Structure 1
Amino acid sequence: MTPNRRPIIIRRKKVIHRHHGGSWKIALADFMTALMALFLVMWILSQADQQQREAVSEYFRTPLLTAITGGEGSAQSANVIPGGGPDPVHSDGERARIDLRTQTRPSEQQRRAFRDLQQRIETAIDADPDLRQLRQQLRFDMTPEGLRIQLFDTEQRPMFALGSDRVAPYMRDLLRTMAPLLNELPNDLSIGGHTDNLAYLNGYRGYSNWELSSDRANASRRELVSGGLNPAKLLRVSGFADRVVMPETEASDPINRRIELLVLFRQVAERIRSPGLLNGAGTPSPIGHQSIQQADTAPMERFTRSLQQALGTEQPGP
């Protein structure tokens, strides 16, 4: 080797092949198991009737802890004060709160009756060629108060004359068609009127959207009664002016000019009839006339005595 030539160094990288352990097989097995369970559930639902599907739906609405413990206990309470039971899953200490939840939650039978009413109304409207054109101006939905039937205005087909409570002929026919169907259920009825935010020239000092919404709700009541609705079913007629705007709409949108019919749940109607009672079940309110009479009058007495001393008119004590 000559002294001017540098040595040639060859570096070889050693590759070590490790076994992957087959973890992908476990992931694939889990995926196939979940897929098989999904198809199994889909097959079972396809074989079940409507009543069985509703039962399954009601089961999944129930919270897991409630289903396990058989009721709500202090462990589920949002209040930091215990419910009163010695056991966290014991429900006796929260009996009043559980009763309130039970009363405000409608039964599946009530919901089914309201859905049947909706179907009968839709069938009656579809059977009439004149009313069929109003189908797009109706909306049905279930609310915590009951079945809500909303009748909307459009620019092409308003339900009332502009700025008036005079009912349009097709609106009159629609209300009178619905009246006998509403009689089929024993539930009470609430009627609410709504307007857009276009105000009158005299503002709120004279006739305003408050009066207009109330008058339109009352005009709808008259048409329903004329169509055969039992007047005893009417529990509330009210006007909301432009204060309740439909979601994702402007206050000036014609859709906000609407009439709202509420077929009330029985529990809701009881609470409306008994506004001074808790739960609508005969429990008096803790704030009553007696507690007002028993208010502490000592501060007023001390003020009166100090004033008399300053004026020199204090009377000797007993």
Structure 2
Amino acid sequence: MSTAHRTGGRQGRSRGGAHEEEHENHERWAVSYADMMTVLVGLFIVLYAMSQVDQVKFEALRDSLAQGFGNASANVLDGSAGVMKDAGAVPNSPQASGETGPIQPVIEGVPGKDPNVELAKQEVTRLQQMQAEIEARLAAVGMAQQVRYRIDERGLVVGLVADDVFFDPASAALKPAAQAVLDAAAPLLVAIPEEISVEGHANIIPVSGRYASNWELSADRATQVLRRLVETGGVPGRRISAIGFGDTRPLPDPDGDPLEVNRRVDIVIHSAVPEPVRALVPSVIAGTEG
């Protein structure tokens, strides 16, 4: 076979096996656009279908629910394309009917009774009973007249006024009268679940010697009372605390000597009722005293 023949054969195969270059499709965006339009049309169809209410089926469901809840007069509001329950589903109030006046709370089915006031009255009664029990215990040891009481928004305050009965001037040492009072009151303080705070106070006369100021003196007096109640009386330490106020919280007493009545220690039995109820306690006390 000649060289020219072989060369011509290769050239022929080369021409026969070649592929033509594909033309670029410049209209492929139309396919994506058509797909997007199809999706949007489907979305609008679904939204339109959801906006339509089968009135017959809805009324049947409404009547069934109304009978199940004991309200046979559930209606559709007139003049509205939508379906709603009528105002009869909501109790009429004075504001809705054009009348004025506050809405009175209801307690135990009795209109016009403020539940917090009723709870405050109950709490005052309970604290008064607690005070009476402490008085009876102190009367048994001949110390009923040595303690002062008051009920306020914190709870029951048992005041040990240190007019040389419980403490000597500028001293935090418990005198025998103070020990007798604390030992008599301790069993009740052990039995109750309330938190207890012991608050020490002092008069405005500056101290000298052992204490640098009335702050230290009042704090030491409170601490000594706490220790007697815990170590001797058995009051749980987790429920009691001590604090000193110095001469910053004087007790107004027009009938007593301010230098004596403010040299005191208060044992506060804190009320456990909610704060809105405790805030009403002073007004309840004033109403009962008036």
TM-score by length of 2: 0.50
Aligned to 1:125: 138
Task: Please say if residues 145 and 268 of structure 1, whose CA atoms lie closer than 8 Å, have aligned partners that are also in contact.
Answer: no
Distance 1:268 1:260 in 2: 22
Q: Which amino acid aligns with 2:236?
A: N
In structure 2, the residue matched to 1:229 is 235
CA distance in 2, matches of 1:105, 1:237: 32
Which of 113, 136, 142 pairs up with 2:145? 136
The AA in structure 2 aligned to 1:188 is: E
Deviations 1:78-125 (A, max 9, x none): xxxxxxxxx763589xxxxxxxx9779954333222222211111111
Residue 180 (structure 2) pairs with residue 167 (structure 1): no
Summarize the alignment of residues 91-130 of structure 1 with structure 2, pairs less than 5 Å apart.
Answer: 107-128=120-141
Aligned to 2:186: 179
Percent same amino acid among aligned pairs? 27
Structure 2: which 5+ residue stretches go unaligned? Answer: 1-94, 106-113, 276-290
**1:145 CA displacement:** 0.7
Partner of 2:243: 238
Gap change, CA 1:103 and 1:233, over 3 Å in 2: farther
1:211 matches 2:211? no
Which of 257, 261, 265 is the matching residue for 2:263? 257
CA deviation digits over 1:241-297, x for unaligned, max 9?
A: 11222214588521111111111111479xxxxxxxxxxxxxxxxxxxxxxxxxxxx
Shift of 1:143: 0.5
Which digits, 9 at most, give the CA deviation of each residue in 1:153-201, with x for residues without a partner?
A: 22xx431233121111221121121111112221111111111111024
Kept after mapping to 2: 8 A contact 1:106/1:265? no
1:220 aligns with one of 218, 225, 230: 225
- CA RMSD of superposed structures (Å): 3.3
Secondary structure in 2 aligned to 1:114?
helix
CA drift at 1:232: 2.2
Is residue 2:200 matched to residue 1:193? Answer: yes
User: Is the 8 Å Cα contact of residues 242 and 251 (structure 1) preserved in structure 2?
Assistant: no
CA distance in structure 1 between the aligned counterparts of 2:191 and 2:167, rounded to whole angstroms? 27
Give the C-alpha shift of residue 224 in structure 1: 0.7
Which has the greater radius of gyration?
A: 2
Which string of whole-angstrom CA distances, capped at 9 and with x for unpartnered residues, describes residues 103-152 of structure 1?
79954333222222211111111112xxx1x3332111210110111111
Which letter maps to 1:254?
Answer: E
Q: After superposition, where does 1:13-28 map in structure 2 within 5 Å? A: none
Find the aligned partners of 2:274 and 2:207 in 1 and give their Cα distance.
35
AA in 1 matched with 2:215? W
Q: Deviations over 1:184-234 (max 9, x none)?
A: 2211111111111110248xxx71101110111111000111212122221
How many pairs align? 169
Distance in 2 (alpha carbons) for counterparts of 1:251 and 1:125: 24
1:147 lines up with 2:153 in the alignment:
no
List gaps (5 residues or longer) in structure 1.
1-74, 76-86, 93-100, 270-318
Given residue 256 of structure 1, which amino acid in structure 2 is its aligned partner? N
Q: Please state whether the residue corresponding to 1:150 is helix, strand or coil.
A: strand
Change in CA separation of 1:88 and 1:109 when aligned onto 2, cut-off 3 Å: closer
Contact 2:155 2:271 in 1 (8 A): yes
**Distance in 2 between the 1:231 and 1:111 partners?**
26
Distance 1:191 1:201, change over 3 A: closer
SS of 1:238's equivalent in the other structure is strand
Paired amino acid for 2:200: G
